Structure 1
């Protein structure tokens, strides 16, 4: 068995590609996962689909054959050329797959490093596959260790707190000013990557979002990627919208200001506009009850948080590296447990056999049977104590498989992998 992860994210795809790869509902996810595990090379599968990434997390028989089969199915689903997808895909195997999974769970691979949503989305994806029997043992072990890693990163660093981008800073500032955001409408202009990030932060901060863009189709597609409702308005209504809502954030790629003095009407309520575009979207405007924030007004906050976050990320990656190694050591220890257990079971069989023979031949009295059994078990436990510890120590070394096989052969033990069933996924609880 090998671990294999295939990743499409903001790092290797644009939003148009991710839209085609996205799985907007459970029916699509279920159908796709069923196709994956029906392939002879794929044993287990989990599908994570968000606005910023699609991750196929699997345990497989052959990483090369499985990766091609998975990307072929993705190509059929998305109608994107196979070679295009294969060239774009980040493919991780075994150690790399686990390290990537732990990095994703710890929000180190996110568009906004340290964002807190990804671990919840990963847990939801895991629950879905678990409920549908698309994973049973190998992936649950990896996923639970990834959640353990994410918790360790959160506890050891301040990642996940504070503003980390111009977009999140703008939203944080708007929330600070507004206070109670329930029912407060915020207008977002543009349907690019910055707008995508802005909408995410607005929704998580409790704002009702209205989106407009020159490309109305692209705006609608972006709005549809969110679970919460995002209203889309025609760009021709921009002037009306500007003078209707208290909060506006603009992030277009226009080479000149799209919002001018002539478009701005005097309003009786306070308005807060955030221009996070470069070059600026908002011209020099003077109007009562209007406060305009540009990138320069927000950048100092972002820079201070980013410098702190960069140091924290180093600590986080050291945790991911350490726990990735620990995970594989733990997997090896699971191979040892059934061997040790069989050693004791074999000893118990011999004790019972010899006691029955001794009783039958009247070498011992019936009244002494239990005491003699306990004595024999104590002797065996002491005799096997050192070999047991030695085997557990060897389990951390590369020669583990050879030694385990030798022990099984010498003692005549069963090589029953199911003896480690106490670690199966149905015993786990996802917090």
Structure 2
């Protein structure tokens, strides 16, 4: 019987220094897959490496035997003593491994609950395993199920529907004030990483002109070029504020960069049209008194963190629904996997052909009223004999292949040919679908 084994570590079990040591580039992952495939005790293999997690999934005959081989391969390939990392590794087999994969794909095990980027990374890792022919029938089915489960959780729960980062929270607040952000003019003050990220998110909302103001003009030019915007010196702020709808500030200044009086003058010149100030600097760049001006809205990091905490709580409630969906999907996958055993497949095949024969007889006999009861019985015995003869060779074939180590392949072919899994109604979904969920962080 095939076993699914998952070995790995994540941000929950390993420090960043250890995660860095095991992190794999695409070329590294290819080499690892080749090494794993060469192990006699491993039939299929998959490698996932992100900044927050490193996991290997294999299909094997013996989880104990395969576990030792996997750990040795890792130690060997990364040139790290086993004692340096084995304590941080978790191990899941069978249903627990399946559930873990489904949870990870849905963002239920991520550093930021419900984040969507991990699914794109899992898809990339799966594509690589397929390309290197290290993923077979079982892992193919498993990961397609993982993709479908993640999509269902996104659709049926609100786990990904609220902001959980400073930049996302800022955009959410801006939407509450302006509704659509399309065409809104953005002023970015300073070169803070979080402010830069927020502007990147704003650009996805199709904002209009982006202006970058910085004390060092060359730095402003560099940043502005990334967003197709324009650069300005920080001394131009009084005039820049007049045209800006959204102002993001992240400088290292010791005091306020935008004083109340400067903002008041700018608001008057812009006819008191709404202006949204996002202050993500510590100490603060924007005078909080500006919030008292008509149609001026000032939010600092504490305000944004409040939004994030509230949304994380909301995501936690939605995660309960996600866990239920994972449980359902795991049960269905177990049912399919159990069907790969020879006896259930033989029984299912026999039942399928007998059902077909019975159905056809029920349609045919009413039209043959001239037949006597004995003749009808003879016809039934004949169809039963046909079923037995049709079944003979497939059953003998399955029994013979059970001793060759690749029975799951042939069982899968038989089950597909005779549609023995029709009750599960597997939805067709391309692993490339929903590219918006792809990304680089987990």
TM-score by length of 1: 0.61
Contact 2:7 2:55 in 1 (8 A): yes
Contact 2:33 2:132 in 1 (8 A): no
Match of residue 255 from structure 2? 261
Q: Given the superposition, is the C-alpha separation of residues 346 and 262 from structure 1 closer, same or farther in structure 2, using an over 3 Å criterion?
A: closer
| Unpaired runs of at least 5, structure 1 | 211-228, 232-238, 251-256, 348-372, 389-407
State how 1:146-225 maps to structure 2 within 5 Å.
146-166=146-166, 168-173=168-173, 179=181, 189=192
Match of residue 123 from structure 1? 123
| Distance in 2 of aligned mates of 1:43 and 1:171 | 47
What SS is found at the alignment partner of 1:179?
A: coil
CA apart distance, 1:129: 0.7
| Distance in 1 of aligned mates of 2:352 and 2:203 | 58
Contact 1:153 1:319 in 2 (8 A): yes
More moved, 296-305 vs 32-41: 296-305
| Distance in 1 of aligned mates of 2:72 and 2:398 | 45
State how 1:355-366 maps to structure 2 within 5 Å.
none
| Distance in 2 of aligned mates of 1:156 and 1:41 | 39
More moved, 91-100 vs 43-52: 43-52
Q: Given the superposition, is the C-alpha separation of residues 20 and 306 from structure 1 closer, same or farther in structure 2, using an over 3 Å criterion?
A: same
State how 1:368-383 maps to structure 2 within 5 Å.
378-380=383-385
Match of residue 103 from structure 2? 103
Listed one character per residue, the Cα deviations across residues 122-163 of structure 1 (whole Å, up to 9, x for unaligned) are 122111111110111221121122222223322321221121
CA apart distance, 1:423: 6.9
Contact 2:5 2:93 in 1 (8 A): yes
Match of residue 284 from structure 2? 282
Contact 2:148 2:429 in 1 (8 A): no
Match of residue 145 from structure 1? 145
What SS is found at the alignment partner of 2:28?
A: helix
Listed one character per residue, the Cα deviations across residues 60-113 of structure 1 (whole Å, up to 9, x for unaligned) are 333334334333433445555422311112221222111100101111111222
Listed one character per residue, the Cα deviations across residues 169-220 of structure 1 (whole Å, up to 9, x for unaligned) are 1354468879359998977747xxx999989978987999x9xxxxxxxxxx
Listed one character per residue, the Cα deviations across residues 11-33 of structure 1 (whole Å, up to 9, x for unaligned) are 22333433332223x22221121
Q: Given the superposition, is the C-alpha separation of residues 429 and 168 from structure 1 closer, same or farther in structure 2, using an over 3 Å criterion?
A: closer
Q: Given the superposition, is the C-alpha separation of residues 77 and 154 from structure 1 closer, same or farther in structure 2, using an over 3 Å criterion?
A: same
Contact 1:44 1:135 in 2 (8 A): yes
**Does structure 1 residue 91 correspond to structure 2 residue 91?**
yes
**Does structure 1 residue 420 correspond to structure 2 residue 412?**
yes
Structure possessing the higher relative contact order (Cα contacts under 8 Å, 6 or more residues apart): 2
| Distance in 1 of aligned mates of 2:191 and 2:98 | 37
**Does structure 1 residue 8 correspond to structure 2 residue 14?**
no
Match of residue 327 from structure 2? 321
What SS is found at the alignment partner of 2:339?
A: helix
| Distance in 1 of aligned mates of 2:69 and 2:196 | 31
| Distance in 2 of aligned mates of 1:249 and 1:309 | 28
Q: Given the superposition, is the C-alpha separation of residues 166 and 184 from structure 1 closer, same or farther in structure 2, using an over 3 Å criterion?
A: closer
Match of residue 56 from structure 2? 56
Contact 2:170 2:278 in 1 (8 A): no
| Distance in 2 of aligned mates of 1:50 and 1:42 | 23
| Unpaired runs of at least 5, structure 2 | 213-224, 228-232, 355-377, 417-427, 434-442
CA apart distance, 1:47: 1.6
Q: Given the superposition, is the C-alpha separation of residues 332 and 282 from structure 1 closer, same or farther in structure 2, using an over 3 Å criterion?
A: same
More moved, 64-73 vs 41-50: 64-73
Contact 1:37 1:134 in 2 (8 A): yes
Q: Given the superposition, is the C-alpha separation of residues 295 and 184 from structure 1 closer, same or farther in structure 2, using an over 3 Å criterion?
A: closer
What SS is found at the alignment partner of 1:112?
A: coil
| Distance in 2 of aligned mates of 1:94 and 1:195 | 45
CA apart distance, 1:333: 2.3
Q: Given the superposition, is the C-alpha separation of residues 173 and 81 from structure 1 closer, same or farther in structure 2, using an over 3 Å criterion?
A: farther
Contact 2:256 2:286 in 1 (8 A): no
Match of residue 35 from structure 1? 35
| Distance in 2 of aligned mates of 1:313 and 1:345 | 39
**Does structure 1 residue 301 correspond to structure 2 residue 340?**
no
Match of residue 331 from structure 1? 337
Pairwise CA RMSD of aligned residues?
A: 5.1
CA apart distance, 1:59: 1.4
Matched positions, count:
346
